[in-house]
Structures are given as C-alpha cells and as structure tokens.
Chains A and B, each alone.
Chain A
Amino acid sequence: MSAAAGPYGAPVAVHQFIPTLNPHDATGTHTLLLRDILRQAGWRSEIFAEAIHDDLAAEAFKHWMYPDHATDGDVAIYQFSTSSAVAGYLLERDLPLILDYHNFTGPQHFAGWESLTEERATRAGVELALLAPRAQLGLADSGFNERELQRAGCRRTAVIPVLVDYGRVSALPDPRVAAALAALKAQGGTDILFVGRIVPSKAQHELVKALWAYRRLYDPLARLHLVGGTSSFDYLRSLRRFVHDLGLSSAVCITGEVSDPALAAYFSAADVYLSLSVHEGFGVPLVEAMAAGVPVIARGVGAVAETVGDGALVLASADPSYVAAAVQRVCADEELRRRLTSAGMRRMVAFSPDAISDRVVAAVASVAAP
C-alpha cells in the first residue's frame, strides 16, 4: 500500500510520539518496528520521545523538537503506556491523532509501595481520559485493551497486536550465561523462568511462593530465574528479604536487565515459563516464551488468556500448591509439553510482524488520508 497524499500533494507524514524510547521494552520495540513498517508503506515517519535511551539516540528526537519536522497534514500516533509530558504536548496540538494503547498498570497495584509511581499511574488514567475522545482511531493490543479504550471515550477502535521482535529470543545465546545455566542444570532440578520488570503488579513474590511449594512437594532442586530490571526498589528489597527468609537464596536468581543474547540463553535453558502477574495488557514475554519453544503457564488476568490462546495453561489462581501442581504436570507430561509448545508456535506466527503489518498500514491509512 502506498502512502496517502497530503493537502498539497506531498506524502502525508505519520510520526510517532512515545514517553520513553527504550530498546529493551515492549513499547519501544513496537515503536521501532512500526516506524519501519510505516516507512516501507511510503509515509515519512519519525519518532519523538520525552526520554530516549542512549543506545537509540540516533533513532528519535525529543518531543519538543517536533515543530522542526512538522508539515501540513501530519498524523500523530501516540504510544500510550504510562503518564508523560508528551500527552499534554499532543493535547495542545490540533494533530489528527491515533492512540496506540498498550495499557498501563493502575495505581492500585502500586499503592503502599511507590508513591511516585502510584501518582504517575493516576495521572496516566487522567491523560487517557483526555486523549481517548480526541483520537480519530484507537489501536489496542488486545480486546481487553480495546474495551478500556472504549470506556475512556475512544469512538473508533481496532485490535492490532503489539509488534514483537523475535530476534531477541532467537539471537545466539550469550555463551557465558549459557555455560553458567548449563552448569546449574547439570546439578539437576527444574528451571522456571519469568521475564518482566520487578514490580508489584508482576507479583514475583507469588512466583517465589510457588517455587517454595514446588520444591517442597515435587523437586527440591528447582530454581527460579527472574529476568528484568526494576522501577520499584521497595518491592525488590522486600522480594530479596522474602527469598532469604524462605531459605531460597541459592534457588532464586534475580538477574536485573539483561542483553538480548543473555535473554536468549535464559529462554533456551528454561523448562517452563511461569507468569503470575496480577495485571497484563498484552504480555509480550508470554509470546517470546512461545516463540522460544518454552511451555507457558500463566495466571489468567487481563489480556493473558487472549494473548496465549491455547498455547499455554491458564490458571485461575496463584495458589502456591495449585501452581506447583501445574508446573509439575507440564514438566512431567511429554504429551502436554508437545501440545503446548506446538500451539505456542502457531500463536507466535499469528503475532509476527509479517502477519500484522498489512493490518497496521490499513488502519493508519484510514486516518492518514486526505
């Protein structure tokens, strides 16, 4: 599909705005992939952000630099995932707006932990309420997110999954990390993996409880790998103390943020991917785990069931004994593993950028046309 012409005949530009452009998070990856798709479709497209990770300094401009690039007929896509000054910046401008909604973790999930993050989440809710009615089109990663957009007052919506870069999990595993994980595996025991920021809404403490129960009931050598950075230092501190008090310090590995090759090493060493988050608007790591051929078990909150389809065991609760039994079943039942991983692979194909790009282009063209 070729790009639509603007009012003066020149191609319309479709620019993206994002709070923070980060190479290691789902929204940042989605934004970069979408920029490439928009350019391939013939639109001029740049990324404008409030904050830009050093590694991506050449890929984007600060949002306040937009006037230097503005032309008549521009269309803005706002990647909404948190509160940001960019929201107010767009509200003050009369640009045709596409709201690409990735959901945000509500303030109730931070209450009592991080007051600043709680405040920020509250502001995000207000910004959504102000932006949604202004948007010509709302794009949602999932039906769950679409319903939130509609409740916020978005009049026209479409579900288009987040663009996932499978290169992260198919990269050559970091040899040092892979060797360390292989050495652990040689001692025996199941390797359980979770990838995501260490924040209360991801409920890593529930994973620790499940590990404790699993070791007590089924596999005393089992390990839990928690991969991901944190923005909630109180929660991380509490989690570490909890792990220590349960005597699990040598069984729980909290890695912090890791490189793509290291992430690939963790996925290839994992026996099972386990998510007990209390809130997920989509859950990119679930899809990454399916792409890596790791069987997935997840608590069915938010959009999780929609994202995993029949490619995962979806649990109704995070009750430690229940989760432990589910992990044991997946690890011990070859037929179940085979079914989950092959269904996961089919699911992954449905979320590949190739399968989604035409839908994205058609949706954007419905707004970026004269």
Chain B
Amino acid sequence: MAASEPEEVSTQDPGAYVAQVMAEIEEEVRLRRASGDLPPKLERELDELFLAHSPVAGRGGDLTEALRMVDAATFIDPVVPVDSQRAAGAFVKKGMRSLLLWYLGWITHQISQFASAVSRALHIVDGRLKDLERKVEVQRVPHAGVVEFPVAHDPAAWWVTPAIGALTEVRGRILHAASGDGWLVRQINQAGGDAYGVDPRPDVVERGLLGISDLRGEDLADHLRATSSAGLGGIVLSGMVDGMGSGQREQLFNLIATRLAPGGTLVIHSVTLPTWEAPDAPYETDLSPGRPLRAETWRHVLKQSGYEATVQSGPDGADYLVTAVRATMSPPEPTLTQ
C-alpha cells in the first residue's frame, strides 16, 4: 500500500485528511479482495470457527444442542498429549504418561461412565420437557394487553378530574399504567403530583417521549417487581385490568399490595360489561382472556385486601372509577369474639 505524500497532506485540514486516508484504506481492501488475497469465504470461516467455540447458549440456548455437546465431551481421553517446547520435555512427558496410563485409564473410565449416565438422564429429561411444552402450548392463557376505549382514555374524560383529585394528598411517586403517550402523567404533574408512566407498547411510549421524559416501555408486572417495597404513593390503572384473566389479575394485585405505600391510593378505571361487549368495542376485547369486573366486585375485593374503596359510575353507565386507599396498618386479625 502506498502512503500518501507527506508534503501534499500536511497542509490539509484534519477532517479532509482522515477522510482521504479512510478512502485509501477502503480502496486497498477492495484491491486485496479482488486479487484473491483474502477471499470473503475465509472471513466467514473465521466467524464459524469462533462460533464453534462459543457456549451453546450463545447459539440460542437449545437444550438438544447442549446435549449434543455434552455427548461429545463425555469421553475423557486418558492419553495426554506429550508435545513440548523444551528440548527433553516430550521425552519426560512420554515417560510420565507411560507410568501413569494404567492409573489415569482406570479413573477416566469411571468418569466417562458417570458422564454417560448423566447424559442419558438429561436426554430423558429433554424428551419429557418437549412433551410437556407441546401439551402446555395448547392450554396457554394469553396475557391481556392494553385495551383502550377512545372516549374513556382521553384527557377530557369525566373520570380524569376525580382521579387527579384523589391523588392530590398522595406522598411519593404516582405510577400510571397504561400510560400511553403520557396524557394523564402530564395532567397529574401539572396538578402538582410526581407521576410517571409505564406502558407495554414501545411504539406508543416512543411517541410520548417527545413531550415527557419519564415514560417506561415495559411490562407493568416486571416494572413493579423492580420497584422498591412500599415505594409508590399512588397507582392509577386504566385500560389494564379489564381484559386480564383471573391469574394475571391476582398476580398484579399481589404486587401492588407490596409496592403501594401504606396510606397510598389506588385508582382503577374500568368499563362496564355492556361497553366491553358493544359491537363498536376495540377488537382487543375479543382477544383478551378476561372480562371486566362489576364495580361492586372491585369494592368487595379491595375491602378484603385492606383498602377503603369508593366507586363512582360514569354519567352514561359506560364506565366507572374505583378509588381505594390502602390502610396505614395491617387489618386486625380476626378473633373468636368478633
């Protein structure tokens, strides 16, 4: 490769000089490849060679592939290599190998037998797991996504003002899920609260980030698991719980019970069953595993969990708002005299 003429380049501005050097490097590579000095096939083979040494999980974490490698490694060779860089090294190593071969052979035979037995057991486990996976797949209950009704999930909706009113006395951060583009987070913050949003739809969150920085594109349950105990002053759920199956709903409320601070406020907005089943409801309603609870059911469930809950119905009966304050101390244990 020819270096550039120093006299020619020394007066160039640094950016232009580097650009010229990079262009010359690229041209050099092109010429080398064209001449067959380093065919692309060889470079691919380098990649494959390294991949062959990567751990199994690096290629997808497949158990069958892992077992194939376990099988390959099951045999332990008692005949140790004797190459040496020192003059008499190979001779010494060869002598030691001859002396120890009977001993190493006996040990490695037992280890190989043990490894084969483990490998056989793992193959059985692999087969049974595959069987189970096939059976579970058809019984799997899908996780509910966000179901938004355009009229209800809007800054002008009737329930927004009472919801924000219920959160004015809250101490600590307020979480809104599903926050969408942050429309309610913005309103709570304007009212003096310290709110942030979580929504499992990354595209929706991305849009919202243009106007508000504290939106997280993640699953609500995952987010709550990572939140410190009693770390939230308020939680607002809208478009989240209506379509949840009973297992997913219970899991969420167990998490909320540990993450909401004593005295904290839980606000739930939900649509009623007729709204959910109306012909013009979003198509996600059909695909969700669950159906909305009645307002009175929420009040009952929350009371049992130690919340003081109130319910407000919307003006046309299409939806309702549940506001629940978590008890500042654990509810009293039931006694025989009650």
13 A-B residue pairs with Cβ-Cβ distance under 8 Å, sorted by A, are: A112-B61, A130-B226, A209-B47, A213-B38, A245-B49, A246-B46, A313-B18, A320-B43, A328-B28, A329-B21, A329-B25, A332-B1, A334-B3
Q: How large is the interface on B (under 10, 10 to 19, 20 to 34, 35 or more residues)?
A: 35 or more
Q: Which 7 A-B pairs have the closest CB atoms?
A: A112-B58, A126-B226, A112-B57, A333-B3, A238-B53, A335-B6, A153-B214
Chain A residues with Cβ under 8 A from B24's Cβ? 329
Say yes or no: is A95 at the interface (Cβ < 8 Å to chain B).
no
A326 touches B196 (CB 8 A): no
Say yes or no: is A358 at the interface (Cβ < 8 Å to chain B).
no
Given known contacts A321-B38, A333-B3, A335-B10, A113 and B228 CB-to-CB distance under 8 angstroms:
no
Residue in A123, A150, A241, A329 whose CB lies within 8 Å of B213: A150
A329 touches B196 (CB 8 A): no
Chain A residues with Cβ under 8 A from B304's Cβ? none
B46 touches A321 (CB 8 A): no
Say yes or no: is B216 at the interface (Cβ < 8 Å to chain A).
yes
Say yes or no: is A221 at the interface (Cβ < 8 Å to chain B).
no
Residue in A234, A241, A322, A336 whose CB lies within 8 Å of B3: A336
B49 touches A246 (CB 8 A): yes
B196 touches A153 (CB 8 A): yes
A313 touches B22 (CB 8 A): yes
Chain A residues with Cβ under 8 A from B28's Cβ? 325, 328-329
Say yes or no: is A319 at the interface (Cβ < 8 Å to chain B).
yes
> For the complex, what is the distance from the CA of A153 to the CA of B196, rounded to whole Å?
9
**0/1 string, A201-231, CB within 8 A of B gives 1:** 0000100010011001100000000000000
8 extra interface residue pairs, beta carbon distance < 8 Å, beyond A113-B57, A336-B3: A217-B37, A238-B55, A320-B46, A322-B25, A328-B28, A329-B28, A333-B3, A335-B4
Say yes or no: is A92 at the interface (Cβ < 8 Å to chain B).
yes
Interface residues of chain B: helix, strand, loop or mixed (majority)? helix
> For the complex, what is the distance from the CA of A228 to the CA of B22, rounded to whole Å?
30
Say yes or no: is A155 at the interface (Cβ < 8 Å to chain B).
yes
Interface residues of chain A: helix, strand, loop or mixed (majority)? helix
Chain B residues with Cβ under 8 A from A155's Cβ? 213
Given known contacts A129-B216, A242-B53, A329-B24, A310 and B4 CB-to-CB distance under 8 angstroms:
no
Residue in B21, B209, B226, B227 whose CB lies within 8 Å of A336: B21
**0/1 string, A118-129, CB within 8 A of B gives 1:** 000001001001
A113 touches B38 (CB 8 A): no
Q: How large is the interface on A (under 10, 10 to 19, 20 to 34, 35 or more residues)?
A: 35 or more
B46 touches A212 (CB 8 A): yes
> For the complex, what is the distance from the CA of A149 to the CA of B143, rounded to whole Å?
31
Say yes or no: is B300 at the interface (Cβ < 8 Å to chain A).
no
Say yes or no: is B207 at the interface (Cβ < 8 Å to chain A).
no
> For the complex, what is the distance from the CA of A150 to the CA of B209, rounded to whole Å?
10
B43 touches A115 (CB 8 A): no
Which residues 213-241 of B have a CB within 8 angstroms of A?
A: 213-214, 216, 226-228, 231
Say yes or no: is A339 at the interface (Cβ < 8 Å to chain B).
yes
Say yes or no: is B284 at the interface (Cβ < 8 Å to chain A).
no
